[in-house]
Amino acid sequence: MDFDRYDHVRPIRWQGDRLDLLDQRLLPFTVEFVPCVDERAVASAIRDLVVRGAPAIGIAAAYGVVLAARAVDAASGAEAAEKIRAAIDELNASRPTAVNLMWAIARMRRVLAAAGGDWRADIEREARAIEAEDLAANRRMGVLGAELLAPASGVLTHCNTGSLATAGFGTALGVIRAGVALGRIERVFASETRPWLQGARLTVWELREDGIPATLIADGAGAHLMKSGAVQWLIVGADRICANGDVANKIGTYAHAIAAHHHGVKVMVVAPSSTVDMATATGAGIEIELRDPRELLYSGDRRVVAEGVAAWNPVFDVTPAGLVDGLVTERGVVEAPDAGKMAAVFGAVSSA
């Protein structure tokens, strides 16, 4: 398959002495990169949603560790790790829900702790490897997921899971890209994904850049769309997948999955194995990030809700494993995931 035909967007650019991040807050009308010259700038970019999407956050954080180490004089990786401990902790705490962030930071810590005199080159090489492995995984998952689809299928996706959220190609959007290329997908719908409108601002823009027609719907129109018979699959990504197959993803995913189950639409979750958290038994153990109520109360700088009204703004929800028909990672497809099937593919639940 000609992957490059449907893969034109790159949100993360390592420049050797800085990390350039495509500012996703400004899309689709302004394409601008934010230069990050130290780990504080990377952590801020993660918190402020300059960069978003679980895999992309992990990759950015890995390069943040490289930048933190540039200001350190140390004879070994272990010595450097001690000196930049606070910087690494800041990166690790920049978003609480996406497990890829903690996974990437832990991987960088291990390499740093074991490195000798050439530790700077070792950790830069590791950050580059994390990025390259994510792109390869996405392309494999795209093909695996597309093979589950019947020809001429209609699909609905939620939030943004494409190149903007990863090293490239995407997770759920990678399946859609591969499905279009292989002739399995005929109709693509994207829900707008309030309050940050990742579907409206990012997903349909990405698909347009790749020449893939897509139709935008309001979040609340998903059930009606499924009832119409226009879609056969709901295809989404994940920020964390638990040991029993429960899935944390962008707020609104759970509601879409309930509607899909009711209308006989299948649910596919697509994410790299780094998103699987076998140390968390069920979705009940996931910390759900709450963001500033202002994101609901304002549109840009203009308040659109009456004064005195409160707002509750969870960023993620948890879809129970029982609503998932297929979990696709680079390791293969887990159909109707449960604790036993997850352990068989990803190992036993950790006691840590």
286-341 pLDDT tens trace: 999 999 999 999 998 899 999 999 999 999 999 999 999 999 999 999 999 999 99
Q: Known catalytic residues? A: 239
> In angstroms, rounded to a whole number, what is the distance separating the alpha carbons of residues 221 and 202?
19
Which CATH number applies to 139-346?
3.40.50.10470
The band of 266, judged by pLDDT with boundaries at 50, 70 and 90, is very high
Q: Which two tokens stand for residue 4?
A: 């490059």
- Asked whether the whole model's pTM tops 0.85, one would answer yes
For residue 302, CA distances in Å to 49, 67, 284, 295, 309 come to 20, 37, 36, 11, 15
For residue 335, give the 3-state DSSP assignment. strand
- Number of residues assigned to the chain: 352
Fold of 3-137: Four Helix Bundle (Hemerythrin (Met), subunit A) (1.20.120)
Residue written as token pair 């209308």: 263
Tens digit of each residue's pLDDT (9 = 90 or more) over 97-135 = 768 899 999 999 999 988 888 999 999 999 999 999 999
b/e map of 25-55 (b: 16 or more CB within 10 Å)?
Answer: eebeeeeeebebebbebbbebbeebbbbbbb
Query: Could you state, in order of their start, the residue ranges of all structural domains in the chain?
Result: 3-137, 139-346
